[in-house]
Chain A
Amino acid sequence: MIEHPRADELIEAVAGWVESIRPQLNPRDAFLSRVAVNALNAVKRELSQGPAAEVAARSRLSALLGMEADLGTLNAELCERLRRGEMDVATPGLLAALKAGIEDQIAIDQPTYVSVGRR
């Protein structure tokens, strides 16, 4: 694996350059340049946080479903059981598992997102 520069350093360099040219851009491109920087930052977070999140998701879903498999298979099985109505909001551990998984995902996609709280 090439480490000089690391992938995150390349991402930072490109994001920094896009930021630097934004003042010269027309409004449409300035908007898209913001989206582009957001995309680069999501990739950077996924590189650092994604592997641990996947390991955690796999063990969580294994426990919930009572089976061992790769993450894709476990996720598909969970969807299938929900479609068939075999699991619902009252299923012990379901909401907690879903919440833990989506918290890891939002930390990658949009770490500043403020979700709805309890009323």
Chain B
Amino acid sequence: MEVDIPAALAGLAPKLGGTGVEKAQRLTGGASMETWAFNLLGAGEPRPLILRRRAVPLDPETSRSASMAAEAALIEAAGHAGAPVAPLVRLCEPEDGLGEGHITGFVAGETLGRKIVSDPRFDVVRPHLARQCGQILARIHTVPTGAANLTTADAQGELDRYEAIYRTSGAERPILELALQHLRRNLSPPMPNVVLHGDFRNGNLMFDPDRGVAAVLDWELAHVGDPAEDLGWLCVNSWRFGRADRPVGGFGDYQDLLEGYMEAGGAEVPLSRVLFWQALGSLKWGIMCLMMYSSYATGATNSVERPMIGRRVSETEIDLVNLLEAGL
């Protein structure tokens, strides 16, 4: 069902403390979630706000997404723990007519990964970003595991989950088969579980040219699990935007990330564990790409984005082969 977002936001304005809205516009990106920017009008200057809403209903059987209520609770808890977030303004109620969603403050900056790794505006701050990301992850990982209703998954659980998705897709991809087999044979003993952002990567972070990370965005995939999962995910080559030589997000080195993590109270995590999760991250992203393609192939969605994302499986496969060749 199509929802008239600008009209629904206008109706909601009084509950947000305003009289109306202007310039409601859907932003780029986000296949499963919609992000809208708008200005809240009232006394004084227009207030820029961001709406995030689920474009298709959450299917708790197949989706691993946290509910928007859980996302909202986590944003608040992470903010209290010292992580930079866009402050929560409202968790949408059914009568708001916006479906499942929330509204946060707007944090200015740049999210485009390619700009973070190459735009001269970020040259000064770039060398500090890996350490800063380590520090922020350490803060997020202090959030109590009961702060929101989240699922729990360790490496074994992640492999089981993604293997099941892969098998269901019917795809026959030898590199994904080899990666599944190899990672299963090389599981590490577990570390104590922490609250994970679940999608902490270049592209989901708002960067400021002076301050570095200004806000951690997109909490949809938050769950409880191995601390190295978040650290490894940030290093997956698919979010290095052509700077494969700078393993942390295309902007920094492993050592700075891990030092920053420990400086801010995080556990000591061996690099080998980060590399394991980085490879598992490439495998997961490859299978997610297959899954998104499947939603096109079955007719569930018809955007040009979905079939084309299926052609990104090969990038994860070439990365996996190179990681396996290097001894992981």
Contact = CB atoms under 8 A, between A and B. Distances in A.
A62 interface: no
A53 B314 CA distance: 14
A67 B181 CA distance: 23
Contact of A31 (B28, B321, B324, B326): B28
Given A31-B28, A110-B312, A117 B321 contact: no
Given A31-B28, A102-B314, A109-B314, A38 B308 contact: yes
Nearest to A110: B315
Nearest to A105: B314
Contact of B175 (A31, A39, A98): A98
Interface residues of chain A: helix, strand, loop or mixed (majority): helix
A24 interface: no
B172 A75 contact: yes
Interface residues of A, number: 39
Given A95-B321, A109-B311, A79 B182 contact: no
B308 to A, nearest CB: 5
Interface in A40-92: 42, 75-76, 78-79, 82-83, 85, 87-89
Interface string B309-323: 001101101110111
Interface string A1-40: 0000000000000000000000000111011100110110
A32 B304 contact: yes
A31 B181 contact: no
Contacts of A76: 172
Interface in B274-328: 303-305, 307-308, 311-312, 314-315, 317-319, 321-326
A30 B317 CA distance: 29
A113 B315 contact: yes
A115 B322 contact: yes
A109 B322 CA distance: 18
Nearest to B310: A109
A113 B326 CA distance: 19
8 contacts: A39-B311, A82-B174, A82-B177, A95-B321, A95-B325, A105-B317, A106-B318, A110-B315
